[in-house]
Amino acid sequence: MGTVRDALRTTIAALLASSVAGGSGYPSVVAAAQIVRPALQAAAQPKRMSLVDLINLQRIAVGPQLSPDGRTLVYGLSVTDWKLGRLVYHLWRQDIGGGAPVQLTFSEGGDTPILQWSPDGRTILFIRDGQFWLLPVAGGEPRALTKHVTPPSAPTWSADGTAVYFIAADAPGAEDRDRARVRDDVFTFDETFRQRQLWKIVVSTGAETQVTSGESTVKSYSLSANGRRLAVQRAPTPSDMDAYRGEVWVMDANGENPRALTSNSVEEKSLEISADGTQVLFTADTNERFEFYYPTNLFIVPAAGGTPRLAAPDLKVAIEQAVWAPDGKSIFANVNMGVHTEFFRVDVAAKRAHQLTDGPHFIPPGWSTSAGRIVYQMDEPSRFGEVWTLPMAGDRPSPTRVTGQFDTLERDFAIPRQEKAEWKGADGTTVEGVLFYPAGYRAGERYPLVVQLHGGPMESDKFGIGGSSTLFYVPVLTGKGYVVLRPNYRGSAGYGAAFARDVNDGYFHQMAQDVLRGVDTLIARGLVDPDRLVLTGWSAGGTLVDKIVTMTDRFKVASSGAGVSNWISLYGQTDNTSFRRTWFGGTPWRKDAPFDLFWNSSPIKDVSSVTTPTLFFAGDADTRVPKEQSVEMFRALRSLNVPTQLVVAPNEGHVWGAIPHLLRKANVELEWFEKYINGRAYVWEKAPAS
């Protein structure tokens, strides 16, 4: 508003001056208007987004819930609390038919936006201070439902609304309490854990009953709509290392008559039992023969027992989440199709999938169904995750947007134009990615490029920015004049089995060339300056950064987050080795180990070739890719006199979440980018004082 006000003052001054100069002053007034008009137009332009602007944007939490009658939406909405260093969520309600949203909770520390409507639509269950609370929709104060010894999770109402099921870790035993009393915190590595079991609490009395027991962990579960049966995914321990040893079980709602439905070596996910309790669906990263490491497929198995079968054999892209239709005759799923995700309906009897939506958007998992509609979030180029509903009936149902959280985003900020970029890999395979244009883009001008590489690698970058906006801050980069390319290199999901499985038997095969050829395509288009290239990535993307800087000096600066440098040492450090066994054909510890394949695929092997100034970022509590992987690369580059820096965030796991850490990461990167790309100083952004 200040620039608009200044422009108006200038206009008034010009008008007064022309009038005083004599006569009507009409020519002078026209001249003044012609001078001031550009200033007014510039003042009306959206602001280029800063890091603080981006972090301060309010976000709708994953998992909005529609009431049983389909009239009311409840969701979590964030506020950025710089003092606490995190997002604080409160619950909001919005009528589907229109009207302003209404805030429901106001606790100082916020609430965990994991929500469940009671079957009668009178009560909302949510999590506060690690326990379940109940909020009356008609008005009144929330009350605590649970006082469980360990924090409960994954709540599900019973069909009649009299009870709530949940998962919780076993309580500490007498020996644990004695050790805690004398401050004995020594633990046995990989052996100190508590199993997680399924529980049930009666809403009216608070009485709790343990449903499952024994030396196994409940990873997930599903209660049938008729309230009679449970489908449960159980594993030997809660460790991610043992997830592939888990199996699907069915049992009565009270835990009796358990029976295993699967016996394989893959992790079953997205578990759901049909309304009548007769069929169970799940997803798994396998093909129909249960061979490991394939794009996620959808399976159905009879609850009475039998062989799991593919629900839609002709659907060759990756399933992200699936749920039964109420009648049990069809299944709804959101499907990864590369740079976008879409809803499909699967006809169970015909084993055919029909696409319901299409567009430049990302529909994340966490959606649900109610009152004949799907309620979901959709991340679009100009809206970072609004809530929509989609009718479950019809071949091409029309979606309806419910929330307007980002109505003014494009008016207030310079949101980058997005499009799908496409090119050919070295072997002729089509590769694509999402391309973001800089603010104020002018055709014919060449811009610096930031390449951002996604994790996984069996994931993909899609249209929209919301999901990873704070870690990768794309609109801030484009606001500073950078083009951003997010390529779906070989190994990514959404492009079929051969594309995803290119990582097997050596990992890197086509990855680097896919990225470099994408850069070449943008240079050939005249969009990118070949002398101002930046390379960044996180997790599998960071690993690929580590590899590419050993192959070329084209990038003037690079940034690697949570990347792998040494596949051999990683195998003894990580909390999950299942993918690595597939990528390299076994373990590095057996007598006939494929040792050469592990070593030859390790970026550290060729680190002596690196000349690119490179940043490394690692979480101190990362168990998936421990910080020691970044330490190896950092110390190697330091010894080679290559400009480098390793930034370690305390208490952060594989993906950083604390606001001060994310702000620090972005500031460090931007300082290096500006120095090595534009040869200019960068002024760090600071957290607001309040």
**pLDDT mean values, one per 10 residues, the chain (690 residues):** 45 44 45 51 79 95 96 96 95 92 94 95 96 93 96 96 96 82 82 89 97 95 95 93 91 96 93 95 95 95 96 93 96 97 97 96 96 96 95 94 95 96 97 97 97 96 81 96 98 96 95 98 98 98 98 98 97 89 89 92 98 98 97 98 98 96 97 97 91
CA-to-CA distance for 670 and 673, rounded, in angstroms?
5
CA-to-CA distance for 365 and 363, rounded, in angstroms?
7
Q: Where are the alpha helices (DSSP H) in 491-586?
A: 497-500, 511-524, 540-548, 567-571, 578-584
Kindly report each contact of residues 98-106 with a partner whose C-beta sits within 8 Å and lies 24 or more positions away, as own/partner: 101/77, 101/403, 103/77, 104/74, 104/135, 105/135, 105/142
pLDDT for 183: 86
C-alpha triplet 379, 380, 381: angle, nearest 5°: 135
In sign, the C-alpha dihedral spanning 347, 351, 357, 363 is: positive
pLDDT for 187: 79
pLDDT for 442: 97
For the CA atoms of 292, 293, 297, 301, the dihedral, rounded to the nearest 10 degrees, stands at 20
Residue-level length of the chain: 690
CA-to-CA distance for 582 and 599, rounded, in angstroms?
15
> What predicted TM-score, i.e. pTM, was given to this entire model?
0.91
Beta bridge partners of 87: 80
pLDDT for 138: 87
pLDDT for 174: 81
> In 3D, which of 59, 58, 109, 82 has the Cα closest to residue 663?
82
